[in-house]
């Protein structure tokens, strides 16, 4: 006899033998009736779920958002009121690599946050960059295809990336950040996070403000050069997981200062750029960041699959006092994430513990895969439709956002018209010191290996429009790295 719990089948029956299959004689064959063996093999076949179509490789931890500032004049969100403390989950990720990809690859980093507020889950699904490669969501699948594998070679294609980028100048801001030092942070703790999009706040008086969220690392920015990153990968492909997990395990809890930039609703007509354009920042001088609190990560997940792989972040998860904006990319993301979750995790994915709101949930959705909450979530089995006379859950008018004026003729507007793709990149380029510029040039040159010269030349025109030094710097780095020059035509990899 033993004190250990009895091993059972999934139906709860004791398992008499977990070492030897049921056979006809010691040499076999195996009996079809060995349902324990079949159950074991069948479960193994179902251990993997589809990886995220982007941001597949990730690292996560739980923590707290503490509000120390006072922005109650802008938003009624309870979790943003002075003194509020909200439990939260963070998942960091790379964009392009698959689930087994090495952590220290040059890539944009995801910075996804889920706040378990008393008014429902608020998810801020951002990156470690304040801008993005596209400003029209129509281009997201095309852009992502250039980051993933070539259909024939099954290899990443530098040609595809630079072909797309050189034909899409709105990507230049994000490409410059990606190729700069911030494109390869040492750990997830040594980078900022940004909500990136313009969101909105609204208050009890029904006033709306546009808002951008910033999470500034308190661990300092630390980056690796390409060579340093490669050396790390030579030793471990899991450097981020190790760094984050053991920092928290050892009590060195990473923190970020939380800031917002606020723009009164009608000022969106006055900026020289479209403040809802995801390829643009709001200059700090015009909209100074306001410090509102601290984000701290202080608890590792008990089970990676259950709590990080199963986590479902969606920009559509907002709470009263926080709203969206006309940003076209944000608008498309409001559809895309919950759709991805229904496919990746199943219909009732918000029933998985890590996704469950920490407040009462009452809705009239029914049945379907993974409905494990007793079939109906209205509090009364007679109230399974709405309106009803059985005290079923009712709508809450106080959660209604103030009206937003929307007008314009329906058309497919050319998003490149009237948008300067260079001025903010120039402001960034001018911030870099000589060392940063030199690493920017060599990182770009390294990433352009094997790209046909007509594509390189097209991209160099964009660099020149930012600053003549940008073009000449990259050209010199291309020559040093690949012997690229007027009389040296680089060869296409595929
Ligand atoms: P500021 O001089 O007021 O702000 C510059 C900001 O640039 C800094 O606060 C810092 O942002 C960020 N920065 C500094 N060094 C680097 C670097 N090596 N790589 C990437 N970002 C860096 O000027 P502006 O607000 O007018 O911005 C100028 C440019 O700075 C923008 O065009 C944009 O490219 C970049 N930037 C601007 C941000 C913004 O929200 N205004 C945010 C991030 C970058 P942080 O404090 O967030 O670390
Ligand atoms: C993940 C779509 C733009 C940040 C994902 C996923 C999809 C997706 C389908 C996988 C979701 C899942 O399976 O759980 C899109 C579309 C975009 C877009 C359609 C544009 C049209 C952006 C932008 C950002 C961003 C602009 C940041 C500002 C992230 C992050 C994740 C992610 C951080 C990983 C979330 C996690 O950790 O689970 N995206 N995305 N995406 N996306 Fe996007």
- Check if 437 has its Cβ closer than 6 Å to any atom of ligand 1: no
Residue 241 has pLDDT above 50, yes or no: yes
Q: Where are the domains of the chain?
A: 58-165+173-355, 432-482
pLDDT at site 486: 55
Tell me the average pLDDT across 5-34: 96
Q: Which of 53, 110, 240 for a ligand 2 pocket mutation test, highest count of atoms within 8 Å of Cβ? A: 110
pLDDT band of residue 223 (cuts 50, 70, 90) is very high
- Check if 259 has its Cβ closer than 6 Å to any atom of ligand 1: no
- Check if 91 has its Cβ closer than 6 Å to any atom of ligand 2: yes
Q: Cα torsion for 438, 440, 445, 449, to the nearest 10°?
A: 140
- Check if 312 has its Cβ closer than 6 Å to any atom of ligand 2: yes
pLDDT at site 428: 98
Q: Which of 145, 118, 239, 261 minimizes the C-alpha distance to 184?
A: 239
Counting ligands in written order, the one closest to the CA of 217 is 1
- Check if 184 has its Cβ closer than 6 Å to any atom of ligand 1: no
pLDDT at site 173: 98
Per-residue pLDDT tens over the stretch 72-97: 999 999 999 999 999 999 999 999 99
Cα 261 to ligand 1 centre (Å): 13
B/e letters for 8-26, b = 16+ CB within 10 Å, e = fewer, are eeeeeeeeeeeeeeeeeee
Per-residue pLDDT tens over the stretch 347-392: 999 999 999 999 999 999 989 888 888 778 888 999 999 999 999 9
* Cβ-based burial of 468 (10 A; exposed 0-12, middle 13-18, buried ≥19): exposed
ipTM given for this complex: 0.98
CATH 2.40.180.10 fits 58-165+173-355, yes or no: yes
Residue 179 has pLDDT above 70, yes or no: yes
Counting ligands in written order, the one closest to the CA of 195 is 2
Per-residue pLDDT tens over the stretch 314-338: 999 999 999 999 999 999 999 999 9
pLDDT band of residue 1 (cuts 50, 70, 90) is low
Counting ligands in written order, the one closest to the CA of 285 is 1
**Ligand 2 atom index nearest CA of 197:** 28
Q: Which of 126, 337, 338, 415 for a ligand 2 pocket mutation test, highest count of atoms within 8 Å of Cβ? A: 337
**Ligand 2 atom index nearest CA of 60:** 37
Residue nearest to atom 7 of ligand 1 (CA): 428
Percent of the chain with pLDDT over 90: 94
Cα 288 to ligand 1 centre (Å): 12
Strands (DSSP E) contained in 340-413 are none
Cα 54 to ligand 2 centre (Å): 7
**Ligand 1 atom index nearest CA of 289:** 40
**Mean pLDDT, the chain, whole residue set:** 96
Per-residue pLDDT tens over the stretch 31-67: 999 999 999 999 999 999 999 999 999 999 999 999 9
CA distance 133 to 5: 54
Residues annotated as catalytic (active site), given as ranges: 55, 127
- Check if 114 has its Cβ closer than 6 Å to any atom of ligand 2: no
- Check if 424 has its Cβ closer than 6 Å to any atom of ligand 1: yes
Q: Which helix (DSSP H) or strand (DSSP E) does residue 65 occupy? A: strand 58-67
pLDDT at site 488: 46
- Check if 91 has its Cβ closer than 6 Å to any atom of ligand 1: no
Tell me the average pLDDT across 452-470: 98
Residue nearest to atom 27 of ligand 2 (CA): 126
Residue 344 has pLDDT above 50, yes or no: yes
pLDDT band of residue 492 (cuts 50, 70, 90) is very low
Residue nearest to atom 14 of ligand 2 (CA): 312
Q: Check whether 337 is labelled as a binding-site residue.
A: yes
311, 345 Cβ separation under 8 angstroms? no
Residue 28 has pLDDT above 90, yes or no: yes
pLDDT at site 43: 96
Q: Cα torsion for 16, 21, 22, 24, to the nearest 10°?
A: -150
Per-residue pLDDT tens over the stretch 273-307: 999 999 999 999 999 999 999 999 999 999 999 99
CA–CA distances in Å: residue 60 to residues 125, 260, 401: 13, 23, 32
DSSP label at residue 118: B
**Ligand 2 atom index nearest CA of 313:** 38
Q: Which of 168, 333, 352 for a ligand 2 pocket mutation test, highest count of atoms within 8 Å of Cβ? A: 333
From the centroid of its chain, how far is CA 26? 54
pLDDT at site 494: 32
Residue nearest to atom 44 of ligand 1 (CA): 130
Number of H helices, E strands in the chain: 12, 10
Residue 399 has pLDDT above 60, yes or no: yes
């Amino acid at each position: 006899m033993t004190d250990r719990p009895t091993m059972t089948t999934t139906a709860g029956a004791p398992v008499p033998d977990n070492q030897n299959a049921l056979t006809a004689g010691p040499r076999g064959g195996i009996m079809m009736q060995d349902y324990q063996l079949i159950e074991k093999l069948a479960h193994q076949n179902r251990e993997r779920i589809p990886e995220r179509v982007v941001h597949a490789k990730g690292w996560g931890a739980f923590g707290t958002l503490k509000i120390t500032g006072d922005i109650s004049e802008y938003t009624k969100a309870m979790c943003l009121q002075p003194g509020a403390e909200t439990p939260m989950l963070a998942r960091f990720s790379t964009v392009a690599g698959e689930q087994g990809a090495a952590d220290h690859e040059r890539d944009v980093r995801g910075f996804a946050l889920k706040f378990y507020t008393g008014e429902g889950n608020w998810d801020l699904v951002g990156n470690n960059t304040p801008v993005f490669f596209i400003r029209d969501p129509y281009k997201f699948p095309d852009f992502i295809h250039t980051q993933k594998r070539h259909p024939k070679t099954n290899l990443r294609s530098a040609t595809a990336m630079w072909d797309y980028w050189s034909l899409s100048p709105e990507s230049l801001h994000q490409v410059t950040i990606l190729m700069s030092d911030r494109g390869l942070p040492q750990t997830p703790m040594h980078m900022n996070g940004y909500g990136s999009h313009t969101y909105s706040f609204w208050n009890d008086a029904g006033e709306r403000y546009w808002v951008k969220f910033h999470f500034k690392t308190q661990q300092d920015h630390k980056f690796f050069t390409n060579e340093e990153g490669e050396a790390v990968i030579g030793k471990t492909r899991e450097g981020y997981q190790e760094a984050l997990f053991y920092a928290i395990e050892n009590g060195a809890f990473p923190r970020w200062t939380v800031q917002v930039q606020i723009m009164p609703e009608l000022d969106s007509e006055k900026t020289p750029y479209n403040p809802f354009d995801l390829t643009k920042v709001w200059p700090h001088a015009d909209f100074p960041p306001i410090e509102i609190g601290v984000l701290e990560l202080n608890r590792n997940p008990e089970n990676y699959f259950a709590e990080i792989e199963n986590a479902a972040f969606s920009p559509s998860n907002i709470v009263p006092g926080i709203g969206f904006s006309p940003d076209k990319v944000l608008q498309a993301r409001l559809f895309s994430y919950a759709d991805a979750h229904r496919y990746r995790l199943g219909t009732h994915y918000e029933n998985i513990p890590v996704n469950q709101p920490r407040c009462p949930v009452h809705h009239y959705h029914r049945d379907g895969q993974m409905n494990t909450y007793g079939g109906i979530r209205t509090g009364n089995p007679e109230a399974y439709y709405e309106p009803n006379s059985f005290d079923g859950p009712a709508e809450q008018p106080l959660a209604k956002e103030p009206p937003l004026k929307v007008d314009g003729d329906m058309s497919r507007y050319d998003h490149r018209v009237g948008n300067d793709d260079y001025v903010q990149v120039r402001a960034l380029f001018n911030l870099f010191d000589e060392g940063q510029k030199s690493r920017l040039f060599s990182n770009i040159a390294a990433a352009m290996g094997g790209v046909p010269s007509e594509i390189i030349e097209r991209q160099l025109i964009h660099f020149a429009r930012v600053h003549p030094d940008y073009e000449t710097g990259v050209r010199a780095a291309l020559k040093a790295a690949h012997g690229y020059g007027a009389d040296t035509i680089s060869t296409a990899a595929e």
